[in-house]
Amino acid sequence: MTLFRGMLDDAAVFPPGLMALSAALPAHAAHLTSSYAEMVGPLVLAAPMLAKLRDNGGDTSESSEADWPEVSVTAPRGPEQVAEVVAARPPVRLRGFEVAVPAESSPAEFFAALERAGTGDVPVFVEVPRDERRPSIIAACAKAGYQVKFRTGGVKAELYPDEAELAAAVRAVVDAGVPFKATAGLHHALRNTDPETGFEQHGFLNLLNAVGAALDGADETELAAVLAERDAAAVAARVSTLDAAVRARFLSFGTCSIIEPLTELAALGLVPAAVLGGQGEDA
């Protein structure tokens, strides 16, 4: 299980899960006291949701900071939202900021605004846009010590990068030495075609394997083939050879269900079935 430690960011409030915050908070707390707790990362909340925390059991006037939830905050409007969160001092332990680059913002403008936002020692993940700004954004993250975030899917087919695009992104961050996380679309361990939508979805294990291949020097064509692999035994066998160096690059991914990826990992023999404590039977 060491390979998957902290890999599952709890994005229960985001599509397609859309769990209410009042339910997501206790559910996340339960994950953190479970037999699979070591594989669970922070709760992911959009910046506007932080104002609702005190209305959903987040009144921390009589609790210590150690009792506050660990949260990674998404800022879809960019650095201005980060500055608002920093100023508001919400009752959370900030584990990260996931900051989008506004469409109208140049890399220079974006990073200047991010510097002004004052993130302190909170890790920053810059969501890399899928346009011509990508090389400059990744290079600037490497220079400034920021990490990056790739969007790997969404509610529309066009939000999914194909294998070639994602392979180029993986090659770029590995070459630059920049760690990353992924968000959206990684609903299963393996590359698949969603039966309801027809969307071609990346597998989170395929992505993990692609990072390993990139570290071994694979080119973009080879990485695209790794991302496209659908043979479960082949994917699982390759994952079993990976080490901590891969996770130092691919840090985590957001999932609206913690149990579903764990169930798939157990089915592939990559984590003990007992870690689910019977929960996988109902997933």
- Quick one: which of 104, 60, 55, 58 has its CA closest to 80? 104
Q: Which residues contact 206 (CB under 8 A, 6 or more apart)?
A: 190, 191, 226, 227, 228, 229, 235
pLDDT value, residue 63 = 59
| Whether residue 16 has a cis bond before it, omega within 30° of 0 | yes
The pLDDT tens digits for 97-132 are 999 999 999 999 999 999 999 999 999 999 999 999
The pLDDT tens digits for 206-258 are 999 999 999 999 999 999 999 999 999 999 999 999 999 999 999 999 999 99
Q: How many CB atoms are closer than 10 A to CB 263? A: 20
Question: What gap in Å lies between CA 30 and CA 38, rounded to an integer?
Answer: 12
Per-residue tokens: 102: 């506004």
CA angle 41/250/206 to nearest 5° reads 105
Pairing of strands 180-183, 250-255: parallel
Phi, psi of 203 (to 5 degrees): -95, 140
CA atoms within 13 A on the CB side of 121: 1
pTM (2 decimals)? Answer: 0.93
Question: DSSP label at 8?
Answer: E
Query: Following CA atoms 136, 97, 162, 245 in sequence, which dihedral angle do they give, to the nearest 10 degrees?
Result: 90
Helix, strand, coil percentages, rounded to 5, for the chain: 45, 15, 35
